Amino acid sequence: MSGLELAGRAHAGALVLDLEITVAPGETLAVLGPNGAGKTSLLRLVSGLLRLDAGELRLDGRILDAAGGGGVPAEDRSVGMLFQDLLLFPHLDVADNVAFGLRAAGVGKDRARTAAHAWLDRFGLVDRAADPVQGLSGGEAQRVALARALAPAPRLLLLDEPLSALDTDVRGAVRRELRDHLRAHAGPCVLVTHDPLDAAVLADRVVVLEAGTITAAGLLTDLVARPRSAWSAELVGTNLILATACGTTLELRGGGCLIAADAPGDGPVLVAVRPSSVALHADRPRGSPRNVWEATVVGVEGFGDRLRVRLDGPIPLVAEVTVAGLAAIGASLGSGVWASVKATELTAYPA
């Protein structure tokens, strides 16, 4: 296929990247993962700042890097990259920073400056065009770096946390502007972000990168519904439990047991439980819940207008309740409660 194709292995210090990734023309792939997982190293590999030890990297069928030798130098790859640390040129003013890629591609000074002003206008910074970059705020510098990456219309876009330094009042506007540009961009784009909202708005698909390898890939809705790791579950705000299924009975490693509405197939399974599906009670509840157990409150954290209550016991997980709901059962840190969750609220799938 055309677009970006990577299948290979590389060393980034002590971390080994072992990856297989494809990004179609016009598609944006979001890369999520914890700190130190290799997200920025992946971008360095694709941009040419890091070399493959094994495998091959292609863009539109052209070999950019191959373990056997050859490839394309970084400066000739038609890649626009926004680094997390921005790397603006301190000796150039704002407009010349944005025009840099165009000038490097042979565009005349006046034409490049005109294009730079147009990009700065799109990001609300045209009045800063002649200013030194040292006087920019963090958010302004982020927008200048983003404009510089986009201005030369590169075939491949690599964006490392493009919105992370923006204030809340401008972040939404810049996100929408970037979304519109990515929709019009004909080439592939790889977006590294820690924010699932950025992934939801900007990306077509997501991959989760942990310790140099991909642990999940697909639509963000798939990641939310069926996380594959503890980090992914925490990112989307759900509980994830490892169990062994025997029919609809799910036996937990710690000795607890849950009953699911549907049989996921015998053997090791992952069980996703939304915190809002976990009910707390002062006494053992009566009625329909098939999963009821005693627990101890070991943590309480604010979460918007609700509380997240961390429970310990045979089924350790997090419940989400209102402040009034927690007060009504008289629960506090260290106290005992009864927890319940309906069998229909469990999502069990092969591990």
- Concatenate the DSSP letters of all residues of 296-313 into one string: EEEEEEEETTEEEEEEES
Q: How confident is the model at residue 68 (pLDDT cuts 50, 70, 90)?
A: confident
Q: 191 with 259, same domain?
A: no
Do 34 and 145 share a structural domain?
yes
Annotate 132-148 with DSSP letters as a single string: BGGG--HHHHHHHHHHH
Could you tell me if residue 172 is inside a domain? yes
Which CATH number goes with the domain that contains 56?
3.40.50.300
Task: Please state the domain count of the chain.
Answer: 2
The pLDDT of residue 226 is: 94
Task: Please determine, for residue 290, whether its predicted confidence score (pLDDT) is greater than 90.
Answer: no
Residue 205 has pLDDT above 70, yes or no: yes
Specify the CATH number for the domain of residue 277.
2.40.50.100
Which pLDDT score is estimated for 40? 93
Do residues 181 and 285 share a domain? no
- Look at the block and give the residue holding tokens 């946390």: 161
Residues β-bridged to residue 296: 312, 336
Residue 237 in domain: no
Is the pLDDT reported for residue 85 higher than 80? no
Cβ–Cβ < 8 Å for 235, 33? no
Same domain, 63 and 112: yes
Q: State the average pLDDT over residues 60-76.
A: 89
- Cα–Cα distance list, 82 to 6, 64, 151, 316 (Å): 20, 19, 12, 41
Task: Work out the pLDDT band at 75, boundaries 50, 70, 90.
Answer: confident
pTM: 0.86
Residue 240 belongs to some domain of the structure: no
Of 225, 259, 278, the last residue of a domain is: 225
Which residues have CB under 8 Å from 318's CB, separation 6+? Answer: 239, 275, 278, 308, 309, 310, 311
Domain boundary among 173, 190, 225: 225
Residue 231 belongs to some domain of the structure: no
What's the whole-number mean pLDDT along residues 82-90?
A: 85
- d(C-alpha 230, C-alpha 238), whole Å: 9
Domain holding 326, by residue range, is: 246-350
Residue 146: inside a domain, yes or no? yes
Q: Is 212 in the same domain as 268?
A: no
Query: What is the predicted pLDDT for the residue at 173?
Result: 84
25 and 59 fall within a common domain:
yes
Q: Above 90 in pLDDT, residue 11?
A: yes
Is residue 1 scored above 70 in pLDDT? no
**Is the same domain home to 307 and 182?**
no
Tell me whether residue 283 is in a domain.
yes
User: What tens digit of pLDDT does each residue of 19-55 get?
Assistant: 999 999 999 999 999 999 999 999 999 999 999 999 9
Query: Do residues 136 and 52 both lie within one domain?
Result: yes
What 3-state class would DSSP assign to 255? coil
pLDDT at 170 over 90: no
> Are 207 and 284 found together in one domain?
no
Same domain, 205 and 271: no
In a domain, 241, yes or no: no
Tell me what the mean pLDDT of segment 209-234 comes to. 94
Least confident window among 63-67, 165-169, 267-271: 165-169
pLDDT exceeds 70 at position 288: no
Q: Which of 225, 254, 286 is the endpoint of a domain?
A: 225
Task: Return the pLDDT at 128.
Answer: 95
Judge whether 239 lies within some domain: no
Residues written for the chain: 351
Q: What is the pLDDT of residue 307?
A: 95
Indicate whether 188 and 279 sit together in one domain: no
Residue 307 dihedral angles phi and psi, to the nearest 5°:
-120, 145
Shared domain for 251 and 206, answered yes or no, is no
The CA distance from 134 to 248, in Å, is: 62
